[in-house]
């Protein structure tokens, strides 16, 4: 399967575009955002767990990165409430299980550099925000490795940011509010991927926005 697999082109999926598909495990559904491969794949997905569901034990051959958007995710190691950001490096393993709340996560698989070996768990409700270099923007650093940066960005209402270039690409998930640029409008739940060396002018309206943002991590070709 190849879904949004050309990294030289922008890709946008809004909530109205969601098409949930069953995983091989009962009670677990996926909304695929990008994918190269079949069941084992380089993939970015929303994954929805029904209450009291489990997923098969598995090893993260290419690493696993996820953000808990709703409910509470768990495994034999920890419980991860909504707002938790997690990185499980290559070679780690777990057996996911979910309680009575169910949960929704944004997950990225098989996208780790082999040298990026540090496990990460961040509770974004208690981690520190710092002012960005642009007025109206606050940033929470989640992870940094070589050119890859992972942050939350909190945009105040009616904030704009000058045109800028995405060296190594940019990937955005709108967690709350509404985010816009000259190419469109992106409500909460939108996933947006912009290629290496692309540019845009970003801004918010009266709602402001909370974004999960990755930069500097995208390949410059479709080869993996």
For 43-82, write each residue's pLDDT tens digit. 999 999 999 999 989 999 999 999 999 999 999 999 999 9
Q: How many CB atoms lie within 10 A of CB 49?
A: 27
pLDDT at residue 215 above 90? yes
State residue 81's pLDDT score. Answer: 96
User: Which range, of 24-28, 162-166, 203-207, averages the lowest pLDDT?
Assistant: 162-166
pLDDT in tens, 93-132: 999 999 999 999 999 999 999 999 999 999 999 999 999 8
CB 175 within 8 A of CB 188: yes
CA distance 110 to 90: 8
State residue 223's pLDDT score. Answer: 45
Structure tokens at 48: 């929805």
CB 165 within 8 A of CB 197: yes
pTM of the predicted model as reported, rounded to 2 decimal places = 0.95
CA distance 53 to 70: 15
DSSP H helices in the chain: none
CA distance 55 to 90: 19
pLDDT at residue 222 above 70? no
CA distance 5 to 56: 27
Across the chain, mean pLDDT equals 94
User: Which range, of 59-73, 142-156, 208-222, averages the lowest pLDDT?
Assistant: 208-222
Q: What region, left, alpha or beta, does residue 22 occupy, with left being phi > 0 and alpha being psi -120 to 50 degrees? A: beta
Dihedral angle over CA of 40, 221, 183, 166, nearest 10? 100
Q: How confident is the model at residue 224 (pLDDT cuts 50, 70, 90)?
A: very low
pLDDT at residue 220 above 80? no
How much of the chain, in percent, has pLDDT values that exceed 70?
98
């Amino acid at each position: 399967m190849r879904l949004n697999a050309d990294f030289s082109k922008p890709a946008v999926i809004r909530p109205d575009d969601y098409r949930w598909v069953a995983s091989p495990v009962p009670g677990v559904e996926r909304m695929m955002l990008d994918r190269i491969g079949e069941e084992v794949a380089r993939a970015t997905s929303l994954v929805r767990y029904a209450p009291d569901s489990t997923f098969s034990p598995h090893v993260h051959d290419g690493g696993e990165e996820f953000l808990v958007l709703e409910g509470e995710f768990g495994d034999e190691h920890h419980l991860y409430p909504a707002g938790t950001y997690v990185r499980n490096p290559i070679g780690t393993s777990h057996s996911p299980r979910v309680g009575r709340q169910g949960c929704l996560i944004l997950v990225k698989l098989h996208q780790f550099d082999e040298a990026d070996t540090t496990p990460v768990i961040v509770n974004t409700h208690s981690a520190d925000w710092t002012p960005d270099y642009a007025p109206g923007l606050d940033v929470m650093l989640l992870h940094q490795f070589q050119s890859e940066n992972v942050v939350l960005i909190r945009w105040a209402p009616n904030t704009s940011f000058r045109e800028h270039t995405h060296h190594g690409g940019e990937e955005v998930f709108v967690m709350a509010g509404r985010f816009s640029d000259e190419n469109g409008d992106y409500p909460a739940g939108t996933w947006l991927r912009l290629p290496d060396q692309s540019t845009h002018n970003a801004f918010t309206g009266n709602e402001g926005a909370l974004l999960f943002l990755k930069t500097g991590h995208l390949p410059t070709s479709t080869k993996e």
